[in-house]
């Protein structure tokens, strides 16, 4: 009789995700020989190899790919069953794993943590910052409980809860102060600075400026909003910022900050979690708190 364990599934998931025995073992907080032994044991039970072993990286066999899908479904179900212990009419307690995108984290996360510590003292928030694609994958695989990101995500398995809207503002060199503000769709004719590929804010800005993602020659790229602001300050071009980022990112630079007089580009920030998460009711209540925090941050910004 085959006797799989949750440990087998967790170790195989880590190996498949990371693609390297040593790094996967480190992620699982065990030795490489121990991880290798667990994978060999799993393969022995199945009677066929799950991975192709190479010096630098592993690849999943056809069986490995099929087994991974089922193993991750089991892990997701186990994770959600463990959440049942926290299901009650009372407030959330224990550890909650949160993902947040880089163009939100520095400006909103401190206020969220402070307010949740006050409202839900029994809750320990474990935040992780990453790009949307990575966060959504971790959410679907039950490695996160919820994420804060720009909507829409448009993933059928996920529930979206809008928090607030924020405008995009135009950041130009100080010498441009007083000049007319160009329409968003005219920015493609100027030296536009945007985040590098992978950031959802880049995709939103390209859409606002009516620039095709396949035509990168029209823009210059930076790795973070802070980098973009410094490039603008050095006279290399102009950029867009979400308004919540303006106070922190422009505080030490001489720049011209302008709002668009009409057709203001904006984005919606929201919370997202799995529809099957048994903590859905509590996450809605938590979302209401986060919404108040976010809106308060927006309301404090100068018009």
Q: Is the pTM of this model over 0.85?
A: no
In this predicted model, what pLDDT tens digit does every residue of 166-186 receive, in sequence order?
999 999 988 888 888 888 877
Mean pLDDT by 10 residues, the chain (303 residues): 81 89 88 90 88 83 89 81 60 87 95 93 92 93 93 94 94 86 80 85 82 63 89 89 93 88 89 91 92 92 78
pLDDT at 109: 95
Please give the CATH architecture assigned to the domain spanning 90-303. Answer: 3-Layer(aba) Sandwich (3.40)
pLDDT at 219: 66
Residue 168 bridge partners (DSSP) = 242
Q: Where are the beta strands (DSSP E) in 123-260?
A: 123-129, 146-151, 158-173, 192-195, 219-222, 238-242, 255-258
pLDDT at 213: 63
pLDDT at 101: 96
pLDDT at 166: 94
Locate 127 and state its tokens: 């935040």
Q: Where are the beta strands (DSSP E) in 24-93?
A: 51-53, 58-60
pLDDT at 83: 65
- Give the C-alpha separation, 233 to 235, whole Å: 5
* CATH code, 6-84: 1.10.10.10
Q: How many CB atoms lie within 10 A of CB 249?
A: 23
- Give the C-alpha separation, 52 to 145, whole Å: 32
pLDDT at 289: 94
In this predicted model, what pLDDT tens digit does every residue of 119-142 receive, in sequence order?
989 889 999 999 999 999 999 988
pLDDT at 199: 84
pLDDT at 253: 81
Domains in the chain: boundaries:
6-84, 90-303
In this predicted model, what pLDDT tens digit does every residue of 247-256 receive, in sequence order?
999 988 889 9
């Amino acid at each position: 009789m085959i006797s799989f364990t949750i440990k087998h599934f967790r170790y195989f998931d880590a190996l498949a995700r990371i693609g390297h025995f040593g790094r996967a073992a480190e992620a699982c907080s065990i030795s490489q020989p121990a991880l290798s032994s667990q994978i060999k044991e799993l393969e022995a039970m199945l009677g066929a190899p799950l991975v192709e072993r190479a010096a630098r990286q592993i690849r999943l066999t056809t069986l490995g790919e099929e087994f991974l899908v089922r193993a991750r479904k089991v892990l997701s179900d186990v994770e959600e069953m463990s959440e049942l212990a926290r299901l009650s009419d009372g407030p959330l307690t224990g550890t909650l794993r949160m993902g947040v995108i880089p163009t939100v984290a520095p400006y909103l996360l401190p206020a969220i943590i402070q307010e949740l510590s006050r409202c839900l003292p029994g809750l320990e928030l474990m935040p992780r910052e990453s790009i949307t694609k990575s966060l959504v994958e971790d959410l679907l695989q039950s490695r996160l409980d919820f994420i804060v990101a720009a909507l829409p995500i448009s993933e059928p398995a996920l529930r979206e809860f809008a928090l607030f809207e924020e405008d995009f503002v135009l950041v130009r060199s100080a010498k441009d102060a007083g000049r007319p503000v160009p329409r968003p769709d005219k920015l493609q004719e100027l030296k536009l600075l945007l985040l590098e590929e992978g950031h959802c804010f880049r995709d939103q800005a390209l859409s606002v400026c009516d620039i095709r993602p396949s035509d990168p020659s029209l823009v210059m790229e930076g790795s973070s909003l802070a980098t973009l602001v410094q490039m603008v300050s050095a006279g290399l071009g102009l950029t867009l910022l979400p308004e919540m980022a303006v106070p922190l990112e422009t505080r030490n630079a001489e720049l011209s900050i302008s709002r668009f007089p009409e057709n203001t580009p904006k984005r919606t920030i929201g919370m997202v979690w799995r529809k099957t998460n048994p903590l859905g009711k509590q996450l809605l209540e938590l979302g209401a708190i986060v919404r108040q925090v976010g809106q308060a941050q927006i309301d404090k910004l100068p018009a």
